[in-house]
Amino acid sequence: MDKIIIKGGRRLEGRIPISGAKNSALTLLPCALLTDEPLTLRNLPRLADVDGFGHLLNQLGVSTMIEGARPEDFGRVMTLRAGRLTSTVAPYDMVRKMRASILVLGPLLARAGEATVSLPGGCAIGNRPIDLHLKALEALGAEIELTAGYVRAVAPKGGLRGGHINFPVVSVGATENALMTAVLAKGTTVIDNAAREPEIVDLCRCLVAMGASIEGIGSEKLTIHGKDRLHGATYRVMPDRIEAGSYACAAAITGGSVDLVGANAEDMTAILDMLVQTGAHVEVKGDVIHVSASGRLKPVNISTAPYPAFPTDMQAQFMAMLALADGVSVLTETIFENRYMHVPELARMGADIQVTGRSAVVRGVDKLVGAPVMATDLRASMSLILAGLVAEGETQVSRVYHLDRGYERLEEKLQAVGADIERVGSD
Ligand code: UD1
């Protein structure tokens, strides 16, 4: 398996292009199931998860065509067409590798009247149940059956009907499945306590471009007037706010000066505010976010929570930064119960972090030292890359496949701003 090798201590300077958002792509791709007409998605990031989702859709009978993507380009254009579905089953082998596969459940049910999807099971960052997804579909009249590790959802005679969905907990995925189902249900659906993440707004906009009627976009109450059918559309995936946030941390932790090009600062308020609190300098000009820093960063206290608050997907990266801050920071993770898997690895590089329950106390140290490290999830892997960028000596990050799931050509982007980073195949 490949490894990434970083020699720390380089100050990053220059421009980093920001790719299309992974989490947005993973909910826009299944929208292709909702119509027999072509859906063209632009600015799709080149990521293992996007490829994986394409293969899953192929298995369901969706054709996928990639256009005009030159190898040197970031992002690509994909046209998907679900003229006729050939299967309504998302098998274990697919779902196991990619949790987001659960997002075919709603659209398959809405289009074909039935869907069978393997239960995703636990994952490295916690238990991650799908009860809220299932409750939402039940509210629209679906019958749900759980057997042999699979969930089967079937529409009632006469089809799905609009209903009232009130989520007890904010869930991005459950809101997405609910939306993609309700757009084809008869009548009106109201979703209360909907997730407000920018990726949800992106999904709503794409569905509207396909002919859906949705009110309250961007708010916690969404009202959907179901349509008999949706049509094709062309839609551009939003910029990845977590990728941009991660590279903003790379600039800050190395005392660098970086322009994040093609980013959307409006989606990143909590992240950028927190960066400013650490003493980094942030300036926004159109779609370019300039981040620079010098000297030691200041400690901050962070609590993750649903959007618009600070995202759980940035917790690990900020932790790497705060490991070197001038004082004590407290991080509290309120979304996932097991999202501190990077802590022991950062500790091996010299970080002083103590986890008690949902909180982590980070005592800033003077320096980190390179070491062989590995991570169990995507953002944790990125926090190790960030630590490696400033650590003394060499850091080897293994299990690179986590990074390939969510960071388009990571080492190329970091090399271009001066990092000493390379990928090597292990023997
Ligand atoms: C999405 C993102 C992920 C991000 C997360 C929170 C994608 C592909 N992934 O994940 O990167 O970290 O949002 O912003 O977009 N929950 C339940 N029952 C459910 C569903 C969720 O109890 O049926 C709980 C979860 O365990 C968690 C919380 O709700 O504690 C939020 O999870 P959710 O927003 O659903 O995360 P995902 O959609 O899986």
With a 6 Å cutoff on the Cβ, whether 315 touches ligand 1 is no
- Please indicate whether residue 123 is annotated as part of the active site: yes
Cβ pair 407, 50 in contact under 8 A? no
**How much is the pLDDT for 68?**
64
Residue from 144, 169, 315 whose mutation best tests the ligand 1 pocket (most atoms within 8 A of CB): 169
Q: How far is the centre of ligand 1, averaged over its atoms, from the C-alpha of 145 (Å)? A: 22
- pLDDT for the residue numbered 120: 81
Report the nearest atom of ligand 1 relative to the CA of 24: 15
Alpha-carbon distance 15 to 367, whole Å? Answer: 26
Q: How far is the CA of 126 from the centre of ligand 1 (A)?
A: 10
Query: What tokens were used for 255?
Result: 């005392």
Q: Which residue has the tokens 């909180």?
A: 359
Structure confidence at residue 199 (pLDDT): 98
Q: Do domains 3-18+239-424 and 22-236 have the same CATH topology?
A: yes
Q: Which residues of 181-193 are buried (b: 16+ CB within 10 A; e: fewer)?
A: bbbbbeebbbbeb
Strands 89-90 and 114-118: parallel
Does 24 sit in the ligand 1 pocket, CB within 6 Å?
Answer: no
Rounded to 5°, angle at Cα 86 from 23 and 119:
50
pLDDT tens-digit series, residues 82-111: 999 999 999 998 888 888 999 999 999 999
CATH number for the domain running over 3-18+239-424: 3.65.10.10
Instruction: Please check the confidence at residue 28 and state whether its pLDDT lies above 70.
Output: yes
From the CA of 261, how far away is ligand 1's center (Å)? 28
Q: Where are the domains of the chain?
A: 3-18+239-424, 22-236
Cα 103 to Cα 12, 47, 134, 419, distances in angstroms:
37, 17, 11, 36
For the domain made up of 22-236, give the CATH fold.
UDP-n-acetylglucosamine1-carboxyvinyl-transferase; Chain (3.65.10)
With a cut of 80, say whether residue 128 has pLDDT above it. no
The ligand 1 atom at the shortest distance from the C-alpha of residue 126 is 26
